[in-house]
Amino acid sequence: MAASINPDGVLAGQVAVVTGASRGIGVAVAKRFAMEGAKIIVTARTVEKADHYLPGTIGETVADIRNAGGEAVAVQADLSQPEDRERLVEESLLAFGGVDILVNNAAVTFFIPVADFPEKRFRLMMDVQVWTPFQLSQLFIPGMRERGGGRILNVSSHAAIHPDKTLPARGSTVYGMCKAALERFTTGLAQELYDENIGVNVVSPGLVATPGAVHHNLITEESKDRVTPVEHMAEACLRLCHGDSRELTGRIDYADAVMEEFNLQAVALI
């Protein structure tokens, strides 16, 4: 059956913000949520093809959703900039009147050994991968409370797991630091919001052949057999954003484990 929009899907009537939605996981999540009836706000820096060396733009993401019969708007934002974070919230509220789901997927990543890591790049990674999810959560939580609940989903990585010291390092220490901080933030926020019908979770994709992963040479001869389709990540994200928020909160999950636990089948995306 061809992929399509179901206006009466499990996210019908809800509004979702997906950051980093010009390519890769962000696009897949935005499309999958739209297929279940959500209105989508996508944000990233890339609006035109010439804006970035990797393929994909938020304009293309919105066009694909609209062409399939869904509702979506694009908000260009550099989430390392505080004024852009605040503008994203303002424009999201103007677009659809409120937000029920926040997916913090945006990332800026450099793989450099600690001894050589520049402070400027360290601060940029922490700003985008830790402070941005923290502040966007702060800014969207009041509206979720007014709407009677919501969901916050943070995209992490297996890099948050403590590494085997005997294996070759890939310069991923700072990346792992960011994701570990994001995971601890998630469980703490889930605790704070447990009685407010706002579920807060983390999900990690495993190894997905996104444009960024390919650019950073993460797909190798040794790892190519472990690559999983991006549709699996989209399905896992969807499952963690509906249902009983008390049952599905404070989780540090992995896409393949979510797929198995809930007996999910990935579907083709619009």
Task: With H, G, I as helix, E, B as strand and everything else as coil, classify residue 72.
Answer: strand
| Active-site annotation holds for 53 | no
pLDDT truncated to tens, each residue of the chain (270 aa)? 579 999 999 999 999 999 999 999 999 999 999 999 999 999 999 676 555 556 689 999 999 999 999 999 999 999 999 999 999 999 999 999 999 999 999 999 999 999 999 999 999 999 999 999 999 999 999 999 999 999 999 999 999 999 999 999 999 999 999 999 999 999 999 999 999 999 999 999 976 655 554 444 554 555 445 568 899 999 999 999 999 999 999 999 999 999 999 999 999 999
Q: Which residues contact 119 (CB under 8 A, 6 or more apart)?
A: none
Edge-to-edge order in the sheet of strand 15-19: 72-76, 39-44, 15-19, 101-104, 150-155, 198-204, 252-254
DSSP 3-state of 254: strand
Q: Which CATH class is domain 15-261?
A: alpha beta
CB–CB of 235/267 below 8 Å? yes
Domain locations in the chain? 15-261
- Biggest distance spanned by C-alpha atoms of the chain: 53
Buried b (16+ CB within 10 A) or exposed e, 57-69: bbbbbbebbeebe
Report the distance separating Cα 261 and Cα 246, nearest Å. 17
CB–CB of 88/77 below 8 Å?
yes
Buried b or exposed e, range 141-175, using 16+ CB within 10 angstroms: bebbeebeebbbbbbbbebbeeeeeeeeeeebbbb
